[in-house]
Amino acid sequence: MTPDKRMKGSRALVAALKDEGCEVLFGFPGGVAIPFYDALYDTEDIRHVLVRHEQGAAHAADGYARATGKVGVCTSTSGPGATNLVTGIATAYLDSSPLVAITWQVRSDLIGTDAFQEADITGITMPVVKHSYLVKDTADLPQVVHEAFHIASTGRPGPVVIDIPVDVALGETVYRTQDVLDLPGYKPTTRGHIRQIRAAAKAINEAERPVLYLGGGCISSGAAPEILRLAELRRLPVATTLMALGVFPETHELSMGMLGMHGTVTANYAVHECDLLINMGARFDDRVTGKLKAFAPHAKVIHADVDPAEIGKNVRALVPIVGDVKHVAGALCKELEGMEWTPERTAAWLGRIAERKEEFPLQYEDPADGTLAPQFVIEEIDRVTGHDAVVCTDVGQHQMWATQYYTYTFPRQFISSGGLGTMGFGLPAAIGAKIGRPDAAVVDISGDGGFQMTMQELATAMSADAPVIVCILNNGYLGMVRQWQDLFWDKRYSFTDITLQPDFVKLAEAFGALGLRVAAKEEVEAALREALAAGRTAVIDFNVAQEENVLPMVPAGSEITEMIGGTSRKGRKKP
């Protein structure tokens, strides 16, 4: 802890960050940020990672937060620096990621005058933050930092913006390690109500066709052990959302994989047929439910979430439980352990699910033209890294194949922009994840479109010595849009052809990274092994089949059993 001492605002900020456990800061300096950067210059406790564009700072801090569970911190100068953070802040907001964004602001007496590099960043970000501060007095600065970290990391996590006019950094204050937070309006309910938990336990015990539907809340609350115990106690088949991949090991016999638009046949049909749907920390997003009216038509619903506003927002819950998923799942286990139950109750159901899993696996065919199947590349990444890499993605087809063909076995293993669907997220998020988990192999699975949005961050990866492996599934298209144009827009590929593109191998080399190109099946493994052993950032340009579609697919707004693709091993259409 920093002892009480009179100091400049900029130094008090550094002290407060340190006391909040901030060990790394992703940022980019600018005019009004100089006093803070001056204070950082001789600080040994906080590492500063210089990005090449502020969007990269926000995504890297987010990736760091998702990989470690700690609060990610990014900083930028005023005006354009701050506005460049906005996409990253919104990304963190939609996926409930704990982020503190410190933006610098023009001098207090210039605010509102359209001063040079002035932007009303608390105003601009208001719809996409959990909370925000415009600090007016140096004396408030440490307290604001403590509150911001508390708000970002507790309850339903989310981003907090602290906007600081440069004169506040230059003013002086006595720094105190404050632990008294003044937040009378902020008291998240983390313990589920025991009466609701008992009602839920009873419903679970009586169910004949239960499904456990897991969302991102399971990861942010650290509920993996409790969830595993709960699933095993009553042999509950498990469907996860994109945000929850890894929280329940996909190698487990009860795992049905992901549900929703590109979910498995097994998971989607199980949700359609179940008599009890147990939602833990998910939010009935439209990419999961498809047509809401036809979603889980036979099911009673239990919905546990730390955010009361999610409960009843899209789907009515018979048993709503406001609380932290870790606590709720633990309490449910405790109740269930004292109740009588025999496996016969759900045996027929589990039998049906096992058969379906066997008959309707995720599958693809090798492209007729002999080109590389993108799905095969993911399978190889999975095999070569032994289900053990931290996988970051961009947004699009490669992202969905990454959810389908990599085997996730532990929480915080899969890092992807789910809610906002932000292209360009993958590389900077992977850099943040690598800095948070230096021991892990970090793979960024990207597309040729998304990669080009933030590829300048290769310079960050190199200069910060954060070796990540970028796997570009290069099909020369903005593939997911092309897929929709193929399926729903009469193959009119309007502005989705991006074949005219840089040479990604030369590009990697220009940044000092390893660049490799792979066009044949046999070369995939060797390239991955070379990249893993390289000890520096590598970019592998996988030339994959151009017009491969992600299947199965539930068209937007359809029932989740109306799937394109998803045929059986023998080609049978419907289960």
Partner 1 sequence: MKHTLSILVEDKPGVLTRVAGLFARRGFNIESLAVGSSEDPRLSRITIVIDGDEHPVDQVTKQLHKLINTLKIRDLDPDNQVSAELLLVRVAGEGEKRTEVLQIAEIFKAKIVDVDRRQLTLRVVGTNDKLEALLELLRPLGVLEVVRTGAIAMARGRG
For partner 1, the binding residues (CB under 8 A) are 122-123, 126-127, 130-132, 134, 136, 151, 183-186, 307-309, 312-313
Name the residue nearer to partner 1 (CB basis): 307 or 335.
307
DSSP 73-94: EEEE-STHHHHHHHHHHHHHHH
Token code pair at residue 542: 């996988």
Name the residue nearer to partner 1 (CB basis): 134 or 539.
134
Name the residue nearer to partner 1 (CB basis): 297 or 312.
312
Please state, in angstroms and rounded to a whole number, the distance separating the CA atoms of residues 352 and 357: 9
In the three-class reduction of DSSP (H, G, I as helix; E, B as strand; rest coil), residue 445 is classed as strand
Give, as one character, the DSSP assignment of residue 564. Answer: B
Token code pair at residue 48: 């500063």
- Based on the number of CB atoms within 10 Å of its own CB, is 453 exposed (0-12), middle (13-18) or buried (19 or more)? buried
Least distance from partner 1 to the Cβ atom of residue 25, Å: 24
Least distance from partner 1 to the Cβ atom of residue 417, Å: 20
Name the residue nearer to partner 1 (CB basis): 161 or 212.
161
Least distance from partner 1 to the Cβ atom of residue 17, Å: 20
Residues 6+ apart with CB under 8 A from 332: 197, 200, 201, 204, 230
Least distance from partner 1 to the Cβ atom of residue 155, Å: 9
Phi-psi region of 190 (alpha: psi -120 to 50; beta: other; left: phi over 0): alpha
Among candidate residues 283, 278, 355, 359, the one with its CA nearest the CA of residue 571: 359
Please state, in angstroms and rounded to a whole number, the distance separating the CA atoms of residues 148 and 130: 10
Least distance from partner 1 to the Cβ atom of residue 97, Å: 16
Name the residue nearer to partner 1 (CB basis): 56 or 419.
419
Residues 6+ apart with CB under 8 A from 299: 211, 271, 274, 275, 276, 277
Please state, in angstroms and rounded to a whole number, the distance separating the CA atoms of residues 464 and 536: 11
CA dihedral 126, 130, 133, 134 (to 10 degrees): -20
Residues 6+ apart with CB under 8 A from 465: none
Least distance from partner 1 to the Cβ atom of residue 190, Å: 15
- What totals of helices (H) and strands (E) does the chain contain, helices first? 22, 20
Phi-psi region of 365 (alpha: psi -120 to 50; beta: other; left: phi over 0): beta
Name the residue nearer to partner 1 (CB basis): 134 or 230.
134
Name the residue nearer to partner 1 (CB basis): 132 or 255.
132
Q: Pairing between strand 5-8 and 172-175?
A: antiparallel
Least distance from partner 1 to the Cβ atom of residue 405, Å: 37
Name the residue nearer to partner 1 (CB basis): 126 or 487.
126
Name the residue nearer to partner 1 (CB basis): 107 or 136.
136
Least distance from partner 1 to the Cβ atom of residue 122, Å: 7
Least distance from partner 1 to the Cβ atom of residue 105, Å: 13
Among candidate residues 417, 405, 541, the one with its CA nearest the CA of residue 471: 541
Least distance from partner 1 to the Cβ atom of residue 160, Å: 9
Name the residue nearer to partner 1 (CB basis): 98 or 449.
98
Name the residue nearer to partner 1 (CB basis): 184 or 343.
184
Least distance from partner 1 to the Cβ atom of residue 150, Å: 10
